C-alpha cells in the first residue's frame, strides 16, 4: 500500500525547529476543563490501539500483545516492529528508501504513560529503531541519541548490524537519481510512517512513531517523527497524539503536543486534530496546498480522532476484537 503524492513539491527551505511558537494562542482560549470532561462520561471499550494509515498487521500485533497480558508500551513497540520488518514498506525500517546519497537513516521515538520517552535520530544499519528508542528510554539517563552514537548504543544493547537497503529500494533510488539530478525534491511516495497509540484496559496510554522520513532527503535531515512533542506526545492525564506528513510543518507547530494541549483545554480528539491542522494552514506563508500533514489522537476516555490537510489519510483502529481502517476527514474539501 503506497499513497502516492502524499507530500507534493515540499520545499526544504525553511526547515527548522520553531519549538514554542504555536502555544501562545491556545493558552488564551478555553479554560482548563479536562477533569470535568474525564469524569463526565463513560470510557470507550478498552484496550484499544490506533495507528496512522492502513496498517492492519501492525494493529493486530499490538492487539495480540495486549491479549498476552502485556503493556501498552509493549503493544506499540511490537506493532511498530511489524512495519519496520516489512520489506515492502519503503518508509519504515528495513527496505526503507534511502536519503539522496543512498543511506537509509531511521528516526523513531516512544513514550510511556509515566511521561518517560526515548528517541533515536539518523540511526543506520538497525531495523528496529523503535526498540532502540525504547532502550534509550529505559537504559540511559537520556531522551535522544543520534547517528553513530545511537548505532553504537544499539550494538552494545545487542542489536545486529544489517544492510537496510534492499535490491528494490536501491533500484528505485538509482532511478530517482537519474531523473532528479540529485535535487532535493520531496514529492515522492514516501509517507507510510507508522505512528501508534495504545490505551490499556486501565486507561493508561503509550505511543510510538517510527520512520525513514522523506525518501531521498538531504543527508542529515531529521523530521518530526523522533521529536517528542512534534511527531508524538503522550500525557497520561489527558491523551496522546501522533503525526505523519511533512515533518517540517509538524515541528514548526509542535503538532502532537499542541493536539494534547488542545484536548487538555476541553477539545475532543477530533476537534484537537482539526485545530492543529488549522494552525498549519492558517499561517500567512503556508504552502499547505502542496503538502500533507495528518494527525491521529486519543483521549483518556478512549475517544479517538483524526484529521489531515488533504484527503486519503486514514486511521487504523483495533478495538473490541475488531480491526478497522477509516478515511479521515480533511481540510481541503474542494479536492477531487
Ligand atoms: N513525518 C515524516 C517526516 O517528515 C514523514 C512521514 O510521515 O511520512 O520525516
Q: Tell me whether residue 178 is in a domain.
A: yes
* Annotated active-site residue in 59, 193, 244, 304: 193
Atom of ligand 1 nearest to the CA of 192: 8
State pTM to two decimals. Answer: 0.87
Asked whether residue 29 is domain-assigned, the answer is no
Say how many Å lie between the CA of residue 62 and the centre of ligand 1. 22
Angstrom distances, CA of residue 8 to CA of 29, 47, 66, 261: 33, 36, 37, 29
**Ligand 1 pocket check for 105: Cβ under 6 Å:** no
If we measure between CA atoms, which residue out of 122, 116, 244 comes closest to residue 191?
A: 244
How far, in Å, is the centroid of ligand 1 from the Cα of 211? 7
**Is the shortest distance between the CB of 308 and ligand 1 below 6 Å?**
no
Tell how far the Cα of 300 is from the centroid of ligand 1, in angstroms: 26
Report whether residue 213 contacts ligand 1, using a CB cutoff of 6 Å. Answer: yes
Query: Cα(225)–Cα(232) distance, rounded to whole angstroms?
Result: 7
Is 91 close to ligand 1, i.e. is its CB under 6 Å away? yes
Ligand 1 pocket check for 79: Cβ under 6 Å: no
Q: Which domain holds residue 231?
A: 40-330
Instruction: Report the first-to-last Cα separation within the chain, whole angstroms.
Output: 20
Based on the residue annotation, tell me whether 193 is a catalytic residue of this protein.
yes
Residue 18 lies in a domain: no
| Ligand 1 centroid to residue 9 C-alpha, Å | 14
**Ligand 1 pocket, 3 CB below 6 A?**
no
Ligand 1 lined by 294 (C-beta under 6 Å): no
Q: Which residues of the chain have pLDDT under 50?
A: 1-40, 183-189
Provide, for the chain, the percentages of residues in helix, strand and coil under a 3-state DSSP scheme, each rounded to the nearest 5: 30, 20, 45
Q: Which residue's CA is the closest to the ligand 1 atom numbered 7?
A: 244
229 DSSP 8-state letter: T
Question: From atom 4 of ligand 1, which residue's Cα is the shortest distance away?
Answer: 247
pLDDT at position 336: 53
Which of 186, 191, 218 to mutate to test ligand 1, by most ligand atoms within 8 A of the CB atom? 191
pLDDT value of residue 262: 98
pLDDT of residue 27: 34
Q: Tell whether ligand 1 has an atom less than 6 A from the beta carbon of residue 211.
A: yes
Task: Please give the Cα distance from 216 to 210 (Å, whole number).
Answer: 17
To test ligand 1's pocket by mutation, which of 3, 223, 242, 251 has the most ligand atoms within 8 angstroms of CB?
A: 223
247: in domain: yes
Ligand 1 pocket, residue 225 CB under 6 Å? yes
What is the Cα–Cα distance from 236 to 270, expressed in whole angstroms? 18
Q: Is residue 336 part of a domain?
A: no
Number of domains in the chain: 1
pLDDT of residue 334: 79
R_g over Cα of the chain: 18
Asked whether residue 25 is domain-assigned, the answer is no
Nearest CA to ligand 1 atom 9: 213
Cis upstream peptide for 244 (omega within 30°): no
The sign of the torsion formed by the CA atoms of 121, 122, 124, 128 equals positive
Which positions ≥6 away from 270 have C-beta within 8 Å? 297, 303, 304, 305, 306, 307, 329
Residue 226 is assigned to a structural domain of this protein: yes
Closest atom of ligand 1 to CA, residue 246:
4
CATH code of 271's domain: 3.60.20.30
- The answer to the question of residue 20 being in a domain is no
Amino acid at each position: 500500500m503506497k499513497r502516492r503524492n502524499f507530500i507534493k513539491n515540499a520545499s526544504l527551505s525553511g526547515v527548522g525547529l520553531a519549538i514554542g511558537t504555536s502555544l501562545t494562542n491556545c493558552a488564551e482560549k478555553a479554560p482548563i476543563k479536562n477533569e470535568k470532561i474525564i469524569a463526565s462520561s463513560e470510557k470507550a471499550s478498552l484496550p484499544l490501539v490506533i495507528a496512522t494509515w492502513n496498517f492492519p498487521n501492525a494493529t493486530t500485533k499490538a492487539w495480540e500483545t495486549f491479549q498476552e497480558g502485556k503493556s501498552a508500551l509493549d503493544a506499540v513497540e511490537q506493532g511498530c516492529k511489524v512495519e519496520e520488518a516489512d520489506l515492502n514498506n519503503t518508509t519504515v525500517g528495513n527496505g526503507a528508501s534511502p536519503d539522496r546519497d543512498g543511506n537509509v537513516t531511521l528516526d523513531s521515538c516512544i513514550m510511556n504513560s509515566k511521561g518517560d520517552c526515548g528517541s533515536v535520530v539518523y540511526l543506520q544499519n538497525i531495523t528496529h529503531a523503535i526498540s532502540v528508542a525504547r532502550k534509550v528510554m529505559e537504559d540511559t539517563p537520556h531522551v535522544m541519541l543520534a547517528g553513530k552514537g545511537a548505532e553504537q548504543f544499539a550494538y552494545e544493547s545487542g542489536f545486529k548490524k544489517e544492510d537496510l537497503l534492499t535490491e528494490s529500494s536501491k533500484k528505485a533510488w538509482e532511478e530517482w537519481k537519474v531523473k532528479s539530478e540529485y535535487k532535493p525534491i520531496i514529492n515522492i511516495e514516501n509517507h507510510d510512517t507508522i505512528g501508534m497509540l495504545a490505551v490499556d484496559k486501565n486507561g493508561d496510554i503509550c505511543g510510538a512513531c517510527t520512520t525513514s522520513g522523506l525518501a531521498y532527503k538531504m543527508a542529515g535531515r531529521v523530521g518530526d517523527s523522533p521529536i517528542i512533542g512534534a511527531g508524538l506526545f503522550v500525557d497520561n492525564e489527558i491523551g496522546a497524539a501522533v503525526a505523519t506528513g511533512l515533518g517540517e510543518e509538524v515541528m514548526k507547530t509542535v503538532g502532537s503536543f499542541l493536539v494534547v494541549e488542545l484536548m487538555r483545554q476541553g477539545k475532543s480528539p477530533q476537534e484537537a486534530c482539526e485545530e492543529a491542522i488549522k494552525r498549519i494552514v492558517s499561517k500567512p506563508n503556508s504552502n499547505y496546498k502542496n503538502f500533507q500533514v495528518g494527525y491521529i489522537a486519543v483521549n483518556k476516555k478512549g475517544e479517538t480522532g483524526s484529521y489531515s490537510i488533504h484527503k486519503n489519510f486514514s486511521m487504523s483502529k483495533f478495538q473490541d476484537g475488531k480491526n478497522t481502517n477509516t478515511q479521515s476527514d480533511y481540510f481541503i474539501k474542494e479536492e477531487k
